[in-house]
Amino acid sequence: MKTYFSTSYKQDVNGYVEILVQIIKMMNMNASNSEVNDFLFEVGVNLANQHSVKAADTLSALHVEINEILSKLGFGVCQIEDANNRVIIKHHDLPVIEDREFRDKWLQYFSVIMCGLYNCWFRQTGAPAELICRIKEIIFPCDAVFEFKRA
């Protein structure tokens, strides 16, 4: 039995997604959109503080480290590109939900969590406070593009 659990058992991340969807649905019903967004951004910041990045010398080193953390969290993967006056983050494989009525709102809200994560991770590497992560584009069903640039 011990062998079965140590080699065959895989943790399924769908359970956390279902719980999170229910929490966000309830928040969406009981708070304004800006209150929900502010709260979820802070959730991302808190996650980034719990799963912090080390000081990276280069953007490519930061890219590798962020992807390692994203993989552990089950949050997909990203590509990070220097675009002169901003950083573009192309995020792939965000968690997908089955609920067709809430799917669009879910991806929007989960992207806000990701903004909090990215914002905090860049701060941890020394990025100045005037640079902020924003959602540039949401690509259904599970991708998003973020910009990290001056406000």
pLDDT at 7 over 70: no
- Yes or no: say if 65 and 54 are a contact pair by the CB < 8 Å rule: yes
Phi and psi angles of residue 63, each rounded to the nearest 5 degrees, phi first: -55, -45
Residue 30 has pLDDT above 90, yes or no: yes
Q: If you average pLDDT over every residue of the chain, what do you get?
A: 90
The closest of 113, 125, 114 to 62, measured between CA atoms, is 125
Collapse the DSSP code of 140 into the 3-class scheme (helix H, G, I; strand E, B; otherwise coil) and give the result.
Answer: coil
Write down all domains in the chain, each with its CATH number in brackets.
Answer: 14-150 (3.30.1380.20)
**pLDDT value, residue 14:** 63
Cα angle for residues 66, 69, 72 (degrees, 5° grid) = 150
8: pLDDT strictly greater than 70: no
pTM of the model: 0.89
Tokens matching residue 30: 């009981």
Percent residues over pLDDT 90 in the chain? 81
pLDDT in tens, 43-92: 999 999 999 998 788 999 999 999 999 999 999 999 999 998 999 999 99
Residue 24 and residue 40 in contact, taking contact as beta carbons nearer than 8 Å: yes
**Residue 58 buriedness (CB in 10 A; 0-12 / 13-18 / 19+):** exposed
Section 1-16 average pLDDT: 51
Tokens coding 37: 């967004």
Is the separation of the CB atoms in 104 and 139 below 8 Å? no
Confidence of residue 108 (pLDDT cuts 50, 70, 90): very high
